[in-house]
Amino acid sequence: MRLNHDCILPLLGVAYKFGPYPAMVCPWVTNGALTGFLERQQDKLSSHDKLSLLNDIALGLQYLHSKSIVHGDLTGSNVLVRDDGRACLTDFGLSTMLVEFVGTSYPTDSIRGNMRWAAAELFEEEDEPHISLSFECDIYSFGSIILQVLTCKVPYCLGLLQTYSRANGSSEGCKHCRPLPVESMQTLKM
């Protein structure tokens, strides 16, 4: 299937012999990954710039989902920012490609490395060696991307965890606690 969308980094080809899996060949993106871009540009980005980035990411994700593709690893490392300031998704469908090489589900170890962006339900079954990804997992990850773009910090960085923990009444930071009631969220300042 050929994907063609402004908010999706084109796949130019595949290279082999770089490890156990094929390597994707894509155009070079000068501004690099979203996480580094936000760190470098946080003092220069306006609210409009941030919302434009989020709009691009949402459009890219909507396009993938319309093609029945679960991104499966939506993180600040898999969103790239082009020279014109537009965001584009990369490493999309990684879970689909891995199915051909390792089995029917996504390896748990790969998700654990991106815990700040991954949906809580992906961590519920510790005895299970493999877990299944879904469109809903992508939407959860997009929520973490929203938090990252609006704060210019990786999701659930120490300061945000402490703020969340105090508002939740716990003494230790925990990403996967139940969401706070709307009234409580209004008292949080980020």
Q: How far apart are the first and last CA of the chain?
A: 42
Residue 169 clears pLDDT 80, i.e. is over it: no
Q: In order of start, what are the domains of the chain with their CATH numbers?
A: 13-155 (1.10.510.10), 157-190 (no CATH)
Strand-strand pairing, 23-25 and 79-81 = unpaired
> Which tokens in the block code for residue 12?
């130019």
Nearest CA among 157, 158, 167 for reference residue 188: 167
Beta bridge partners of 130: 107
Encode pLDDT of 109-168 as tens digits: 444 447 666 666 665 655 655 567 778 888 989 999 999 999 999 887 665 444 444 444
Torsion, Cα of 3, 4, 5, 6 (10° steps): 130
- The mean predicted confidence, pLDDT, of the chain is 76
Nearest CA among 39, 42, 13, 41 for reference residue 26: 13
> What integer pLDDT is reported at residue 131 of this predicted model?
60
Say whether 73 is catalytic.
yes
Do 147 and 188 contact (CB within 8 A), yes or no? Answer: no
Alpha helices in 75-181 (DSSP H): 94-102, 108-112, 135-151, 158-168
Regarding pTM above 0.85, the answer is no
Distance CA 32, CA 94 (A): 19
The residue from 6, 43, 49, 73 that is catalytic is 73
> Which tokens in the block code for residue 134?
């879904």
